[in-house]
Amino acid sequence: METYAVPPALKNRYRLLEQIGQGGMAAVYRAHDETLQREVAIKFLAPHLLAGDDEASTRFLREARTIARLAHPHIVTLYDADREGAWHYLVLEYIAGQDLAAAAAARGGKLALDEALSFVRDTLSGLAYAHAAGVIHRDIKPQNLLLTAVGSIKIADFGLALAQNDLRLTRAGALVGTPLYLAPEVVLEKPVDARTDLYAVGVVLYELLTGQPPFKASSASGVLSQILHAPIPAPRDSNPYIPAEIERIILTLLAKNPDERFPSAEAVLEALRGSDTPGAPSSDETLTQELLLYSAREDSAAAVEKERRRLAKRLESEIIEPLNLMLAQAGMYEQSLATNPQARMAASVMASLARQALQQARDLSANLHPTILESLGLEPALEALAGTLRARGIQTLFLLERQRERLPAAVELALFRAAQDALERAVTYARAAQITLRLEHSGEHFSFSISDNGVVAGGLELLENARQRIQQIGGRSETRWHEDGGLELLITLRLEAPVQLTPREIEVLQLLADGLSNKAIARKLSLSPRTVNFHLDNIYAKLGVNSRTEAAIYALRRGWSKRPR
């Protein structure tokens, strides 16, 4: 294929500055409009697409003229379309922000409900205007939804992408659109209308709220087959915090029969407005529910720990101390019974039994209130815990990497309790004879695993207790079954470096943890909603979290919330 060089300037007016996008069929540059003194985006169509095809060239210009008539706050403005040598090009409004795909990826692939709905409303507003003008986009996807500096959406690439990598061609008999976002009627090469764009909007909303598209496969043909034949996975299966009404809207948008979808973008907007009624939980109500659930779990864990310590104290005063006293008395009796071998033997047996009971009581007390954990740290506490197993004839292998610095107290306690649960399951229920504990620390990442050679799959509810504890400290846990029937509990954590937040960011985070909405935070701090969004974006990036709930829980863990608990 012949290669062509992009001209450095166009019509003595547009001076190219830098390339900002590249596809198989097009290249996009940031350029300076010397006449109007503004930045623009220049999109060049690869010459080989239109070379020698006068009909295609005419169609390109006709579509450009059609799009140029669209003037809407949520549609990228097309300023000009022309040709320079072999290159056909478009002069477009330049948007300095990210596209929605990049914005979602920066936050872990999933957005908060209020953000996702705000972006989708902007998209629907722009589509409603375009559809009224008789223009169907045909390629709605996160990459074509640009996020402006004020946090709104601009729809780009109206019918002009022509990207071969996206399976998008304008020739008859070819698919039009990106596989993940194609409506069934497009796959079947049937006529398309506004409802085809609405299907793609449904895919986008599904992806923004769950972190994944409804259909995915290793090949385009696999995706197309699922679009035509596979049932739509319920969004709430992936994200239970999606309100039921929003799920209903998504599933309606994704109906395989266009007649079962919403008839227009305006109808979807109306349905979204209806989902904001008092009967449906708002994103802020959802956040409050999640924080209440977190607080309940946190308070329950604290209550359980308090009860453990109370029992340990009672064990010390009511059993361990009396046993110590009894052993001291038994020692005196053994000495005084030197002339009576049988009585001395009986006293010795009783003393031996008392020592065994005393050791068991001490082990139990240490498990209930691990003072060694508080004084020496996790590794010695785990070794002491495993020492009780060795006394019962269970082989224990330690592969513990000594830590230069102690982990946070809450993390050490959660890991110790998780080890207790996993070891109890292995010994009491799984009948394990061998247990391996492995502790590793690499950079910010920390892993702890407990594996056994158990022969019975019982006591799994104990591992669920461990999973909840680890989740509360921001970690992950998974269980892996071995081929021989044993089980491994793997715990992974990301150890957080100290986070440097500005005083204003801390104020925003405190109010977020108190359950306030973005608008309420703006009123409280006398800020604009745009500024609050700016601070939240910075907070998410610094904390390494993806949602309002995660950020609020981060604040709660550090006691930053001002709300009475």
Cα(468)–Cα(278) distance, integer angstroms: 32
**DSSP 3-state of 384:** helix
Quick one: which of 153, 141, 158 has its CA closest to 74? 153
Q: Give the DSSP H/E element, type plus range, for residue 10.
A: strand 9-10
The catalytic position among 33, 99, 122, 139 is: 139
Residue 227's CB: how many other CB atoms inside 10 A?
25
Ramachandran sector of residue 443 (left: φ over 0; alpha: ψ -120 to 50; beta: rest) = left
Residue 5: Cβ-neighbour burial (10 angstroms; 0-12, 13-18, 19+): exposed
What are 108's two structure tokens? 């872990």
Cα(74)–Cα(155) distance, integer angstroms: 6
Q: Which residue matches tokens 């503004």?
A: 38
Positive or negative, the Cα torsion across 545, 548, 550, 551?
A: positive
Active site residue 237: no
Cα(72)–Cα(69) distance, integer angstroms: 10
**DSSP 3-state of 376:** helix
Q: Give the DSSP H/E element, type plus range, for residue 512.
A: helix 503-513
Q: Give the DSSP H/E element, type plus range, for residue 102.
A: helix 100-106
Residue 535's CB: how many other CB atoms inside 10 A?
22
Cβ atoms of 28 and 45 closer than 8 Å: no
What are 378's two structure tokens? 């996790």
SS3 sequence of 127-146: HHHHHHCCCCCCCCCHHHEE
Residue 555: Cβ-neighbour burial (10 angstroms; 0-12, 13-18, 19+): buried
Q: Could you tell me which residues are beta bridge partners of residue 490?
A: 449, 478
Active site residues: 139
